[in-house]
Structures are given as structure tokens and as C-alpha cells.
């Protein structure tokens, strides 16, 4: 049924625009189309009183079929990938916010947004979304997505055996927050973990990426990585080269998820006041605003959620101090 959008990524250029997956036109539609996206808080997820993650709904989901039709610019092998944040899934079992995990707190009271709940990649041929069962697999696919487009059949690698004739594993509906990932990001070096944290809605940025070294050291920028590797050549010897680290973050499909920076005291042409880009409904924990969109759908299975969650101790590398960990 519905598949969602067809992202188009031209093999050659994988940069920002492509990343959005949607070709621009499409993207725009999504944003403009009143119904295209809806935000909602997810009721059933943690009871975070304050900022809850919002989810993106895309009625666009229903357009899937029109893939070929509405805008097809995905002429060539359109393919792209998308990270799917599914708070529901994440909130359920194993995956817990780091903080909670760490302190073994059962609740989700922290503002922390859980890690990504599930990963999906779009088939370059039929444009259906397929779950990728593990973060590792996802990272592997993403690393070469440009040269090696993903197709339904790729799921054979993990014995999922989907084909383009099968219904999509998931579609965009209101149950998840979708974001489009950047392609071709190197897999983390052996022993390292790349961690993506989604920030709360309405903030100045969408997400943060960190790398956690085999010893549990968390690094949050290339500069920190380089500094760290200089002190720990042993990791370099084991494959941790600076160019294997990428701090690029995915982009939320719902553009307003992130606050625009400085609306600039503009008056726009029509004299109209600037359209306040952000008219948030404060996350008062009210689930209402959502247009009740689609019943969440894919129901079950979430074969994949990501995280594994155990991580050693973390130490933070502060600017100049050396942070060594052993």
C-alpha cells in the first residue's frame, strides 16, 4: 500500500540535496501540503511530561502508489535511505535513553530522546521501505548506498527475502518521526560505535552524533577525534582513521522540528509579519495537536530497533584536558 515517497538520489552526487531523499519538489510538497505532515506527540510513549518527541506523519504515505506518477523524477535509480526514529519501538524494550540506561532508571523522565528506533532503506526499484534489522547492517548498507543501491532482494542477506512484490515493511504514518540520513557514511571502525541522539523538538538542532571509542570515550567532533587518536595510536593501528568518522546528522522530514535560527526582524514583502516559522504547540504533553492522523500502523514487528544498549563507562573529553581512559 502506501509507500511513501520516493526518494531520489542520484548516484553521483550525494550531497545534501540528495540526501533529503525526496527530490526537492517532493520535499516541498510535503512541507507545504497541509496534510502532508503532521506532528503529534506520541501518547503512548513515555510519559515525559515535557518535551516529548514528536512524530511525523505523512499522509503522503498514501501516495506511495503514485510514485511513478506525481513526481517522478526518480528517473534513474532512485534510492535513498532514511533513518526512522520510532519512539514507540524504542521506548518499549531494550532501547532506552542512555541516561536511563546508565543509571538504570526505568523511566523516561529525562528529556533525552531515545536513540533511533528502527532503520529503513528504500528499494531503488519499487521504492518500498524495508526494515534493516540491525544498526550495523544499516551502517553497512549506508556506507555504499551510492554505488550499491539497495533493492528488496538485498534483504536476503539476512534472510528476510522480500521482493518488490511484497508489501512495504513500513510506510510513513503518524507513528514515527522520520529523518533522512546522509548517504555514504563510513562504518565506524571496529570497536567503535556511532551514536545518534535526536534532540527534543523545537530546539536549535535536530540531532547530535558521537562516537564512542572501544574504551568508552565519547567524542563529539572531528577535532576531538583527531586529538584522541593522536594519543591513542593503537586505535589507529586498528583501523580508526580520522576519515572514518562522520558527524553528519540526518535531516528531519518535518522541517519545523527544528527551530529556525533567528527569524530576522523581517517584514516580508506583503508587509505581513513574518510568518512565525514556529508556532509550536508547546509540548505540554498534550497529544492533541495531531490531527489524529493515521492510526499508527505498522503495528507490530519492529524487527529492528537498534540499540543494544550496553555501554561501558563514558568519559567525556573535554576540550583541552586530555582525557584518557583506560
Partner DNA sequence: GCCACCGGTGGC
Summarize as ranges the residues that interact with DNA (CB under 7 A). 16, 51, 97-99, 102-103, 105, 109-113, 197, 199-200, 202-205, 208, 218, 220-224, 247-249, 259-261, 264, 313-316, 318-319
Task: Supply the minimum distance, in Å, between the C-beta of residue 151 and DNA.
Answer: 28
Task: Supply the minimum distance, in Å, between the C-beta of residue 2 and DNA.
Answer: 29
Nearer of residues 148 and 316 to DNA, judged by Cβ: 316
Distance CA 70, CA 95 (A): 38
Nearer of residues 64 and 201 to DNA, judged by Cβ: 201
Task: Supply the minimum distance, in Å, between the C-beta of residue 200 and DNA.
Answer: 3
Strands (E), 164-253: 177-180, 193-198, 207-212, 217-219, 251-252
Nearer of residues 125 and 222 to DNA, judged by Cβ: 222
Nearer of residues 73 and 110 to DNA, judged by Cβ: 110
167 vs 4, 74, 196, 255, CA distance in Å? 12, 20, 29, 28
Rg (CA), the chain: 20
Task: Supply the minimum distance, in Å, between the C-beta of residue 317 and DNA.
Answer: 9
Task: Supply the minimum distance, in Å, between the C-beta of residue 5 and DNA.
Answer: 20
Task: Supply the minimum distance, in Å, between the C-beta of residue 301 and DNA.
Answer: 26
Distance CA 215, CA 229 (A): 12
Sign of the CA dihedral 132, 137, 143, 147?
negative
219 vs 192, 242, 310, CA distance in Å? 11, 12, 17
Nearer of residues 124 and 180 to DNA, judged by Cβ: 180
Q: Which residues contact 155 (CB under 8 A, 6 or more apart)?
A: 130, 161, 162
Sign of the CA dihedral 147, 151, 156, 158?
positive
**Whether the Cβ atoms of residue 299 and residue 92 lie closer than 8 Å to each other:** no
* CB neighbourhood size of 59 (10 A): 21
Nearer of residues 71 and 212 to DNA, judged by Cβ: 212
Nearer of residues 148 and 259 to DNA, judged by Cβ: 259
Helices (H), the chain: 16-19, 24-32, 87-92, 98-102, 135-143, 222-231, 233-237
Cross-strand pairs, 38? 57
Amino acid at each position: 500500500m502506501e509507500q511513501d515517497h520516493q526518494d531520489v538520489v542520484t548516484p553521483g552526487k550525494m550531497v545534501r540535496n540528495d540526501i533529503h531523499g525526496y527530490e526537492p519538489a517532493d520535499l516541498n510538497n510535503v512541507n507545504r501540503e497541509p496534510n502532508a505532515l503532521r506532528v503529534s506527540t506520541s501518547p503512548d510513549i513515555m510519559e515525559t511530561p515535557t518535551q516529548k518527541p514528536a512524530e511525523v506523519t505523512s499522509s503522503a504515505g498514501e501516495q506511495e502508489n503514485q510514485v511513478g506518477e506525481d513526481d517522478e523524477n526518480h528517473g534513474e535509480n532512485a534510492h535513498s535511505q532514511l533513518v526512522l526514529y520510532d519512539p514507540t519501538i524504542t521506548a518499549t524494550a531494550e532501547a532506552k535513553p542512555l541516561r536511563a540506561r546508565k543509571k538504570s532508571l526505568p523511566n523516561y523522565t529525562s528529556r533525552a530522546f531515545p536513540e533511533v528506533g528502527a532503520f529503513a532503506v528504500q528499494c531503488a526499484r519499487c521504492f518500498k521501505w524495508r526494515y534493516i534489522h540491525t544498526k550495523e547492517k544499516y551502517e553497512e548498507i549506508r556506507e555504499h548506498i551510492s554505488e550499491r543501491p539497495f533493492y528488496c532482494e538485498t534483504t536476503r542477506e539476512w534472510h528476510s527475502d522480500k521482493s518488490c512484490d511484497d508489501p512495504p515493511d513500513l510506510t510513513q504514518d503518524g507513528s514515527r518521526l522520520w529523518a533522512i540520513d546522509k548517504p555514504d557514511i563510513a562504518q565506524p571502525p571496529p570497536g567503535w560505535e556511532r551514536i545518534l541522539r535526536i534532540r527534543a523538538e523545537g530546539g536549535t538542532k535536530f540531532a547530535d552524533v558521537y562516537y564512542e571509542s572501544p574504551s568508552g570515550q565519547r567524542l563529539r567532533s572531528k577535532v576531538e577525534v583527531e586529538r584522541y587518536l593522536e594519543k591513542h595510536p593503537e586505535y589507529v593501528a586498528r583501523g580508526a582513521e580520522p576519515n572514518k568518522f562522520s558527524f553528519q546528522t540526518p535531516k528531519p522530514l518535518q522541517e519545523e522540528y527544528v527551530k529556525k535560527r533567528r527569524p530576522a526582524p523581517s517584514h516580508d514583502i506583503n508587509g505581513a509579519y513574518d510568518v512565525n516559522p514556529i508556532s509550536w504547540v508547546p509540548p505540554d504533553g498534550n497529544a492533541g495537536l495531531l490531527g489524529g492522523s493515521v492510526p499508527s500502523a505498522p503495528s507490530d514487528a519492529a524487527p529492528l530497533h537498534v540499540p543494544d544498549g550496553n555501554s561501558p563507562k563514558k568519559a567525556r573529553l573535554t576540550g583541552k584536558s586530555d582525557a584518557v581512559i583506560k
